[in-house]
Amino acid sequence: MNLRQEPREHRHPAGKPFYLPAILALILCLSVSGKVAAQANGITSITQDLDAHRRKAPQEKLFLHLDRPVYACGETMWFKVYSVDGTLHRPLDLSKVAYVEVLDAGQRPVLQAKVALNDGTGNSSFILPASLSSGNYTVRAYTNWMKNAGPDFFFEQPVTIVNTFRQLEAPGTPQAPGYAVQFFPEGGHLVAGIPGKVAFKAVEKISGKGVAFTGELQDQSGGVIATFEPHKFGMGHFTFTPEKGMDYTAVITLGNGKTIRQALPAVQDRGYAMQLEEADAGSLKITVSQAGVQGARVYLLGHARQQVAVAEEAVVNEGKAIFLVEEDKLADGITHFTVFTPERQPVCERLYFKRPTQALQLELTANKSTYGTRDKVALDLMAQTAAGTASKANLSMAVYRLDSLQQSITGDIESYLWLTSDLKGSVENPGYYFSAAGTNDRQAMDNLMLTHGWSRFKWEDMIGKQPTPLQYLTEYNSHLIQGRVTHRTNGAPAPGIATYLSSPGKHIRLYNTISGTDGRVTFEAVNFFGERDIVVQSDFTKDSTYHFEIFSPFSDTYSARKLPALNLTEQLVQELTLRHVQTQVQHAFVGSRANGVMAASSDPTTFYGTPDERYFLDDYKRFRVMEEVMREYVPGVLVRRQSGRFRFMVMNRPFRSVFQNNPMVLLDGVPVFDIDKIMAFDPLQVQRLDVVTSRFLNRGQVYEGVVSYTTYKGDLGGFELNPKALLQAYEGLQLQREFYAPTYETPEQKQSRLADLRNLLHWEPELQLEIGQQQQTHFYTSDQTGTYLVVVQGLTEDGHIGSKVLTLRVVQPLVRK
């Protein structure tokens, strides 16, 4: 939004009187009246444009609950994905795939996964390899649909990964700290003669954290206009009345004695200013002031996540227009207040936060105050909502040990969905604003609103314009594998080409499509799990001059957020050594049980369903020539030779006729268009033969029957693919791993000599909790004493969001003599 654009002046043309023909006069009259009508209905049309934009591009938000903030190479990073509607924060069953990545400090992906979503949730994990360097990393998540909005809208959370297999790098020459100071006039501008609030933010560049300082506001002659200092996290504000033609400078004195001089934004001689204040309990007063501009009225639009709550107009009287807004009208969370001129030009904007009323209250109670090692922990969990309308909460729970490397989390699902997901830039310790202290710190919240702007659109791109076509599709049914078909000779797009994607295996999957005008192809890969080889081809008996490529579905654009360098000091050697031992012990004593992969819950049936004829070749006399197999006991397929080449003619049983064209012939799911090649294949490699004796429609393409061969291992049995086909490995949806933790129910289990040095005691990604009903969950402590953190978070079916943190103490049990 360009807040610096001034309203246009309208002047009558000067000069001698002139006369218009009657028809021209009528046109001018209609034009003027239409303009007046447009201005009168300006706020309505702006609201309509915003609503059209929202309906055209509904917003998704993802939140990841990570099991802990710090990991060692060799450990498993567990996470749960929550997908919600960006407006109402209710679980959203729109996308069926979430893309999760771990990025290093240079924003290069080191780990990637496609996670299946069902009813708006999914869970998965990463095993952190020993090839990673120690450092701070970013975990980000998004859907294919979210790529339309760009990387600033992706979920991002920093984590620390330490590689205990490598020697700690010697610290380099410490960089001199750098500082960034910014000033934000309320509403967007400093306007001469209009008193205004100016917010500020001062951070240390490397860490991004706020710094303490004292400051003076000076005019151009050095006179002190105001003094100020930050309230919290380097943020605060002061109020003054700028004068016309005056330049202002802030002089910042840091705690280390360093002085920074920073010029304030230039003072405008004419324009609009905006002030928001609490009128009384439950209402807001928004004052819009004019200086040097003409305008009889202004419009105020207030929306939260593109849902309009306030749309009003006010008459300007003595240079001011006043709006009174009942806070009850506002949606929970961040509301954008934008001021428009009658010409529908946005001139001021600021944010306001309304504390959520639809909170999910979680009660978490432990059965003991302290626990011994290998002790059973019983936690009682109850969820409540104020309205009592929700029936069920979907939660996740993690229990991990606090130490010098990892402390309590600084953000959770509440602070992310209500706050950071709707703000631009990094927010230091977002969990503070939802803590007991932060809930009552209204000044800190308002400073945050004044210093962070955020819009999921630009007003100038939306008002009076058609929504821009969206590039990325919604994966509302399954993962979409996309690519391109081009001419092999010149690389030009090849439109209208029937293209097939298959993956050799015993579970037959065939995906086909027609390339678009730009040569792009999209395959809807239903039930595609794990890493598998894929074959992409066309019918080479007809189309033999094409090149195929498959695109990566992961985004190659990144946000501007930067990570601070990891500083591992010698004081952390003991904790790092313990982490190393913990990881090695887990691998030695637990082994593969810690990372067991669950089988994909995919449909074992083939894409063509139950065939009309099915033959297990071992039940018949085995022939060494495929022609004998087909002629002797496959009556549904007639074998013919034409011009010296084999043909298959499948019986069209529903109509008691014979198809004249070759059917779709498959070998382990891979199309074989040259019948001579399948007839030359060794039938002793084939375990099963299926025949569909009717016309078959598959994703827009019609086959005159299907003949499908399956080898014993589903590996093509040595069959040579056409060299023009694309063969490559492709990672489908990630198979889930099972979280393993030992139990100590019996004396024998407790007395086991296998060491248990788990840092993560418990991970439960799927906690389904009825509202108002108590539920108990159990797990066991390890051999590690210390303080452990229990983190529970999630949301209800109707958008109530909540989290709860509980600490547990584990001590060494007393040995009785």
Which tens digits make up the pLDDT trace of 264-277? 999 999 999 999 99
Please report, for the chain, the start and end positions of each structural domain, with discontinuous segments joined by +.
Answer: 179-268, 613-731
pLDDT tens readout for residues 106-156:
999 999 999 999 999 999 999 999 999 999 999 999 999 999 989 999 999
Looking at residue 579, its pLDDT comes to 85
For domain 613-731, give its CATH number from 2.170.130, 3.90.380, 3.30.70, 2.170.140: 2.170.130
Q: Per mean pLDDT, which range of 9-18, 150-159, 491-500 is the poorest?
A: 9-18
* Adjacent-strand bridge partners of 155: 141
pLDDT range class, residue 541, cuts 50, 70, 90: confident
Q: Which CATH architecture has domain 179-268?
A: Sandwich (2.60)
pLDDT range class, residue 166, cuts 50, 70, 90: confident
For residues 813 and 244, which has the higher predicted lDDT (pLDDT)? 244
Instruction: Compute and round to an integer the Cα radius of gyration of the chain.
Output: 33
Looking at residue 174, its pLDDT comes to 62
- 301 near 337, Cβ under 8 Å? yes
Looking at residue 814, its pLDDT comes to 66
Q: Per mean pLDDT, which range of 270-274, 589-593, 625-629, 693-697 is the poorest?
A: 589-593
The percent of residues in the chain predicted with pLDDT above 70, rounded, is: 90
Beta pairing class for 196-204 and 235-240: antiparallel
Residue 24 has pLDDT above 70, yes or no: no
pLDDT tens readout for residues 622-633:
999 999 999 999
Looking at residue 172, its pLDDT comes to 59
CA–CA distance, 696 with 579 (Å, rounded to integer):
58
User: Is 217 strand, coil or helix?
Assistant: strand
Q: Taken in order 627, 631, 637, 642, is the CA torsion positive or negative?
A: positive
Reading phi first (left if > 0) and then psi (alpha if -120 to 50, else beta), residue 374 is in left
CA distances from 108 to 66, 86, 105, 516, 554 (A): 20, 27, 7, 31, 12
CA–CA distance, 636 with 659 (Å, rounded to integer):
11
Burial of residue 482 (CB within 10 Å: 0-12, 13-18, 19+) is middle
* Predicted model pTM: 0.89
Q: Position 418: which residue type?
A: W
Looking at residue 2, its pLDDT comes to 38
pLDDT range class, residue 572, cuts 50, 70, 90: confident
Looking at residue 61, its pLDDT comes to 96
Written as six digits, the tokens of 679 are: 């007839």
pLDDT tens readout for residues 407-423:
887 789 999 999 999 98
| Measured CA angle at 420 (ends 414, 426), to 5 deg | 140
Residue 29 phi, psi dihedral angles, 5° rounding: -65, -45
The percent of residues in the chain predicted with pLDDT above 90, rounded, is: 70
pLDDT range class, residue 428, cuts 50, 70, 90: very high
Q: Per mean pLDDT, which range of 120-129, 206-215, 252-261, 288-297 is the poorest?
A: 288-297
Q: Of all helices (H) and strands (E), which one includes residue 324?
A: strand 320-326
37, 42, 47, 53: CA torsion to nearest 10: 90
CA–CA distance, 73 with 163 (Å, rounded to integer):
5
Average pLDDT over residues 427-442: 92
Residue 294 has pLDDT above 90, yes or no: no
Looking at residue 667, its pLDDT comes to 97
Looking at residue 411, its pLDDT comes to 84
Burial 577-606 (b: 16+ CB within 10 A, else e): ebbbebbbbbeebbeeebbeeeebeeeeeb
CA–CA distance, 782 with 149 (Å, rounded to integer):
45
Residue 14 has pLDDT above 80, yes or no: no
CA–CA distance, 131 with 74 (Å, rounded to integer):
10
pLDDT range class, residue 11, cuts 50, 70, 90: very low
Beta pairing class for 333-340 and 346-354: antiparallel
pLDDT tens readout for residues 69-96:
999 999 999 999 999 999 889 999 999 9
- 43 near 301, Cβ under 8 Å? yes
Length of the chain measured in residues:
817
CA–CA distance, 470 with 148 (Å, rounded to integer):
6
Give 452's contacts (C-beta < 8 A, 6+ positions apart).
351, 423, 424, 425, 427
CA–CA distance, 620 with 629 (Å, rounded to integer):
9
Reading phi first (left if > 0) and then psi (alpha if -120 to 50, else beta), residue 323 is in beta
Residue appearing with tokens 């989390």: 409
pLDDT tens readout for residues 459-475:
766 676 666 778 899 99
Exposure of 176 in the CB half-sphere (CA atoms within 13 A): 2
Reading phi first (left if > 0) and then psi (alpha if -120 to 50, else beta), residue 84 is in beta
- 115 near 122, Cβ under 8 Å? yes
For residues 145 and 541, which has the higher predicted lDDT (pLDDT)? 145
Residue 584 has pLDDT above 70, yes or no: yes
- 139 near 101, Cβ under 8 Å? yes
- Mean pLDDT, all residues of the chain: 88
Residue 395 phi, psi dihedral angles, 5° rounding: -125, 165
CA–CA distance, 677 with 570 (Å, rounded to integer):
67
Residue 448 has pLDDT above 50, yes or no: yes
187, 188, 192, 193: CA torsion to nearest 10: 10
Residue 283 has pLDDT above 80, yes or no: yes
What does 504-573 look like in DSSP terms, one character per residue? -SSS--EEEEE--TTSEEEEEETT-BSEEEEEEE--TTT--SEEEEE---S-----S--PPPP---GGGH
CA distances from 536 to 276, 550, 699, 710, 721 (A): 60, 9, 16, 19, 11
Give 458's contacts (C-beta < 8 A, 6+ positions apart).
1
pLDDT tens readout for residues 310-360:
999 999 998 999 999 999 999 999 999 999 998 888 999 999 999 998 889
